[in-house]
Amino acid sequence: MFQDAPIYHQLIAERGDVPASVRDAATDIHRRLQDVMSTGLPSAAFEPGPPPPGAAPRPHSALPPGQYPPR
């Protein structure tokens, strides 16, 4: 694709192969989504872990009691 562009080779040398990194990340996300869509369950990587030390318990609502989004 960019074989004839010297600036591309310079950018890869300076910054790394960003398009390849993005492709790898997209492939990984695609594979994970296929797993979820086929089983209905996320892989262990998506399972929630224990809360960090000293973390307060999370409420069941995204909003504190008595606060509601505007209508």
Query: What is the residue extent of each domain of the chain?
Result: 9-36
Closest CA to 43 of 26, 31, 59: 31
What's the confidence (pLDDT) of residue 9? 84
Tokens 């890869």 correspond to what residue? 12
User: Which residues, 6+ apart, have CB-to-CB distance to 16 below 8 Å?
Assistant: none
CA 55/CA 52 separation, integer angstroms: 6
Average pLDDT per block of 10 residues along the chain, 71 residues long: 74 87 92 84 64 66 59 59
